Structure 1
């Protein structure tokens, strides 16, 4: 079965890898990028199989227009992938108003608007799949990544809730939680750091800043293998609610969940004691 995919951010990273794998196997892709020139080579190679549009997710007014045009042009879209995003790191004191707004608009508000625009089409065609590219940072946290975590925890909460809303309509939802992978994510994050606040230089945030600028810090995750699992997950019905990718993702998510569950269990008596006695 040939499927049609709508993917945001196909210019690099997981989005680029996904588009290349899908187009290479004969699927149709509607891909967006902030700079269309970055995907001109794919358009030249795959022609009409690759529909493209310029889109910056911070331009919320443009999101619905692009999504609607993609469905109108292609007729049916089976899978909508919210992939575009980036990491804004640094001590919270060093983040500017603009950095805060752009991170949340890109990683959280933009995907919400993509889903709002896509759902009427998916309902009318009788189903489909929504995929959200989160990270293990949507379940576990590191110092110096507070804003990034805020965007990813918000993303996961949104898609987790939407999953229950749209399941009766034949629409599935899968949240993908990759660990560190060999993409440009870390390099880009290193160029976008918040201001260096002196008070944090000898803390874990200082170590984080050093890691992002260390050329020898090479991730273990293979983007090609990760994307293959994401693509294959669409064959599963019902699809998995979450997919953890990478040994670091599994380790960090499990540790966070175990610690939170233990802390919750320790509060069980106090929690029930606050109920009104009958």
Structure 2
């Protein structure tokens, strides 16, 4: 079965839609006959992505709209909602997927913190606040998919602003799901996409070829759609290196730092290395 919002004639808005997971989702939705609006930065990138999507859409280029917009700008996102309404009608599928990676530490640099949280967290909030009211008012099935990260759950050392942004997306999407299911007549469901290692522009670095451990964006979107059909809120994706069972042990250890009163991020603390290794082996 396919979720009723993922049907011919529906409207999907996808941020970060010019590449990676966002583009893969746009292509998959277009193949089902949805009309697509991709949101990203860069006219050339958007034009190339639109051509790829149009090649898979039954209605061709007429079914594809692009928007060169910074998702951290609420006024721009609100105007986009009006533009999509005028072009295609009410949004049925909203995928807040735009994300960036810039280096940060706990004490700086401030500009990188603000930019990263502006896109990764405020971009999600802005997308929902711009589109969700009309989606709810439409009184028909719909989807809101927010792209989180395992780093927002286990919060590894390395880029605290990224972890904060994705932890915020998790908390926000949980609250959104609760509010939607307690809104009379609402048929919109929210879902948190938690990718594994996916080979995209965000993760590639200097690599030109996909590492064996990584999934493709297309594999990730196929899994996402399967789990939406199954009714999952937490769409926890494995990859070719990390199965779900290992993700579960890592996440359980992280929350047990509080329960067991261990040092913060004890998984990376030398005094707990052996205990963590043993914990991971157990079921």
Band of TM-score, shorter chain: 0.7 to 0.9
Question: How far 1:105 sits from its partner (Å)?
Answer: 0.3
User: Which of 2, 6, 9 lines up with 2:16 in the alignment?
Assistant: 9
Query: How far has the Cα of 1:173 moved from its partner?
Result: 0.7
**Partner of residue 225, structure 1:** 219
Q: Structure 2 residue aligned with 1:178, among 195, 208, 232?
A: 195
The aligned counterpart of 2:276 is none
Alignment of 1:1-278 (within 5 A): 1-2=7-8, 3-44=10-51, 45=54, 46-93=60-107, 95-127=108-140, 128-168=142-182, 169-187=186-204, 218=211, 219-236=213-230, 239-247=231-239, 248=242, 250=244, 253-263=247-257, 265-266=259-260
Structure 2, unpaired ranges of 5+: 1-6, 55-59, 262-283
SS at match of 1:6: strand
Does the 8 Å contact 2:91/2:131 carry over to 1?
no
- Given that residues 73 and 126 in structure 2 are in contact (C-alpha distance below 8 angstroms), is that contact kept between their aligned partners in structure 1? no
Query: What per-residue deviation string (whole Å, max 9, x for no partner) do you get for residues 148-183 of structure 1?
Result: 100000110011011100113222010011111111
Deviation of 1:76 after TM superposition, in Å, equals: 2.7
Contact 2:18 / 2:45 at 8 angstroms: preserved in 1? yes
Distance 1:166 1:41 in 2: 35
**Which one scores higher on RCO, CA 8 angstroms, separation ≥ 6?**
1
The 3-state SS of whatever aligns with 2:191 is strand
Structure having the larger proportion of residues in helix: 1
1:197-216 deviation line (CA, Å, top 9, x unaligned): xxxxxxxxxxxxxxxx6778
The answer on whether the counterparts of 1:129 and 1:234 sit within 8 Å (CA) in structure 2 is no
Give the 3-state SS of the residue equivalent to 1:132 in structure 2.
Answer: strand
TM-aligned CA distance change 1:48 to 1:250, over 3 Å: same
8 Å contact kept, 1:88–1:103: yes
Unaligned runs of 5+ in 1: 191-212, 268-278
Deviations 1:112-133 (CA, angstroms, capped at 9, x unpaired): 0110111211111114111001
Shift of 1:42: 4.2
How big is the alpha-carbon RMSD for the aligned residues of Structure 1 and Structure 2? 2.4
TM score, norm. by length of structure 1: 0.78
Q: How many residues in Structure 1 have an aligned counterpart in Structure 2? A: 240
Structure 2 contact 154–254 (Cα < 8 Å) conserved:
no
Residues 100-121 of structure 1, C-alpha deviations (whole Å, 9 max, x = no match): 1000000001110110111211
TM-score relative to the length of structure 2: 0.76
* CA distance in 1: counterparts of 2:11 and 2:228, whole angstroms: 12
Pick closer, same or farther for the CA change 1:7–1:215 going to 2, 3 Å.
closer
Distance 1:150 1:261 in 2: 16
Structure 1 pair 79–88 and aligned structure 2 pair: CA distance change class (3 A): same
CA distance 1:100–1:266, change in 2 (3 Å): closer
**What displacement does 1:234 show?**
4.2
